A and B are shown apart, each in its own frame.
Chain A
């Protein structure tokens, strides 16, 4: 079975500062990688995904992530955060059996 590790459970950051949310996964032959965002009292929404091709993936709301196969990582970044980015962020892996595995989440708090 796959496993997904989000190294930071909580990340506080000041408004307009850069942020990186870390995600590592257990290695496999082929995996597909996703980042989801969950705003308070809502379901999960897709931020971005890596299926193949360029290792730098751009998503919505100015977020991007880089797939690093040698380090089995898929870290999420944003160069300048806004108050509205305060939310829970989940990294997920989709294996070749079409089953998703989610990390435990990182709570991003943007401080004014």
Chain B
């Protein structure tokens, strides 16, 4: 099993450009999450999904959109990138049953100039 994978690993954007980050998991997990990690602030939840076709806002959703068209994929979109969105983005997944930990991808380092 590959676990949780993220594409791309690195990306540099100019202000105003758009892009989509892809997260894929092969563990048949119902729940998927997008976080951003910034120095001194830990992980902050952007959006999450509790199942195919459903999404919900997390702590810092502004400027981002998400879609979960297939159970194994969770896409994070930036329609008009801003320098404040420079960060490391992590995707995670977890099964629905029980109180289980989240499984994390390796991260995407995004720089917005």
Task: List chain A positions with a Cβ less than 8 A from chain B.
Answer: 9, 32, 34, 36, 41-46, 49, 51, 90, 94, 98-100, 102-105
Distance, CA A42 to CA B35, complexed state (A) = 14
CB closest chain-B residue, reference A91: B42
Give the number of chain B interface residues (Cβ < 8 Å).
23
From known contacts A98-B31, A100-B102, infer whether A43 and B43 are also in contact, taking CB-CB under 8 Å: no
Subset of 11 A-B contacts with CB under 8 Å? A36-B104, A43-B4, A43-B106, A44-B43, A44-B102, A49-B99, A49-B101, A90-B43, A102-B43, A102-B44, A103-B42
Contact with A along B94-113 (1 / 0, CB 8 A): 10100101101111000000
CB closest chain-A residue, reference B109: A41
- CB of B90 within 8 Å of the partner chain: yes
Residues from chain B with a CB closer than 8 A to the CB of A32 are 99
Residues from chain B with a CB closer than 8 A to the CB of A98 are 31, 50, 94, 96
Question: Which of B45, B90, B94 sits near A44, CB closer than 8 Å?
Answer: B90
